[in-house]
Amino acid sequence: MKTRIISALIALPLLFVVLFFKGPLLYAATLILSIIGLNEFFKPISIEYKPLKGIVYVLTFIWFAGLYIDIPTYYYNFMIAILVFTVLSVVVFSDHSLTDAALSILAFFYIPFAFSHLVMIAKLDAQFFIWYPFIIAFITDTFAYFTGKMIGKTPLIPSVSPNKTVEGSVGGVLACVVASGIYAYLFNPGFFAFALFLGVIGAILSQIGDLIASRIKRIFKIKDFGKIMPGHGGVLDRFDSIIVTMPLVYYFMMLYQLL
């Protein structure tokens, strides 16, 4: 626990600086986290499969470069089509399997594509929404943990994460709704009603994101994805919930602006 607290005390100020100053710093941070996350994801699956790492890494750099220079949206659809076509073509002309291709596509969407939504949020709204993915994930995770410790009795999904409980999950959702409402009330009152709904959906998806990472680790029989943060594991261990909440907040924000 002491190691986790020290790591958090170091990481949180860095996160605050990145989110506060944004700009090139945010682009660089999300790209670096994406590359580290890809490396963590590829390491265990490469023992049994042969993912097309080079293609995914190259597309990741192109994807973030496109975001940085603000190319038209349809170029991103084109890049996704290129990714799918290229990895499937490699399957045809090499000994790579369809599973290798599928894992490569999954790696891109699960990590750099998800992280890039933080940049997309900053491009549309650099003040209010940029903090939301982290508020949802951190509040949900924290209160689910402590609620589960205090009153948790009913296992949630023991085959995936034996320490998580239904009571803890509900506690995380309730705390997230309250925190989301307070945040909106203080900084964007017009969003308050939407914030309550976002708090519910965000808390649920945040926990699903955590369970997805846990399931992947169980499949490949690893304890942590990495060791970049002592006491917390790797990028995917620390950002497993946020990977889901970043796209959620972005598309919810887009919907809110249309209403």
Domain boundaries, the chain: 1-22+126-259, 30-124
Half-sphere exposure of 42 (CA within 13 A, CB side): 21
Bridging pattern class, strands 161-165 and 155-157: antiparallel
N residues, the chain: 259
Query: What phi and psi values does residue 126 have, to the nearest 5 degrees?
Result: -90, 5
- Environment class of 94 (CB within 10 Å of its CB; exposed 0-12, middle 13-18, buried 19+): exposed
Identify the weakest region by mean pLDDT among 44-58, 71-85, 141-155, 204-218: 71-85
Residue 158 corresponds to which tokens in the numbers above?
């023991």
Task: For 169-227, write each residue's pLDDT tens digit.
Answer: 999 999 999 999 999 999 999 999 999 999 999 999 999 999 999 999 999 989 889 88
Sequence-separated (6 or more) residues with CB below 8 Å from residue 100: 49, 50, 51, 52, 87, 91
Rounded alpha-carbon distances, angstroms, from residue 121 to 69, 127, 193, 234, 240 = 15, 9, 20, 24, 19
Q: Comparing C-alpha atoms, which of 252, 237, 235, 258 is closest to residue 30? A: 235
pTM score, whole prediction: 0.91
Rounded alpha-carbon distances, angstroms, from residue 176 to 78, 136, 139, 171, 213 = 37, 6, 6, 8, 21
Q: Are 243 and 114 in contact (CB under 8 A)?
A: yes
What local confidence, expressed as pLDDT, does residue 46 receive?
94
Question: Position of tokens 């603000």?
Answer: 70
Q: Are 236 and 37 in contact (CB under 8 A)?
A: yes
* Nearest-angstrom CA–CA distance, 160 and 212: 9
Task: For 93-146, write each residue's pLDDT tens digit.
Answer: 999 999 999 999 999 999 999 999 999 999 887 689 999 999 999 999 999 999
For residue 43, which amino acid is it? K
Expressed in percent and rounded to 5, the helix, strand and coil fractions of the chain are 80, 5, 20
Residue 78 corresponds to which tokens in the numbers above?
């084109």
What local confidence, expressed as pLDDT, does residue 233 receive?
78
What local confidence, expressed as pLDDT, does residue 230 receive?
63
What local confidence, expressed as pLDDT, does residue 187 receive?
94
Query: At residue 19, does pLDDT exceed 90?
Result: no
Q: How far apart are the first and last CA of the chain?
A: 45
What local confidence, expressed as pLDDT, does residue 234 receive?
87
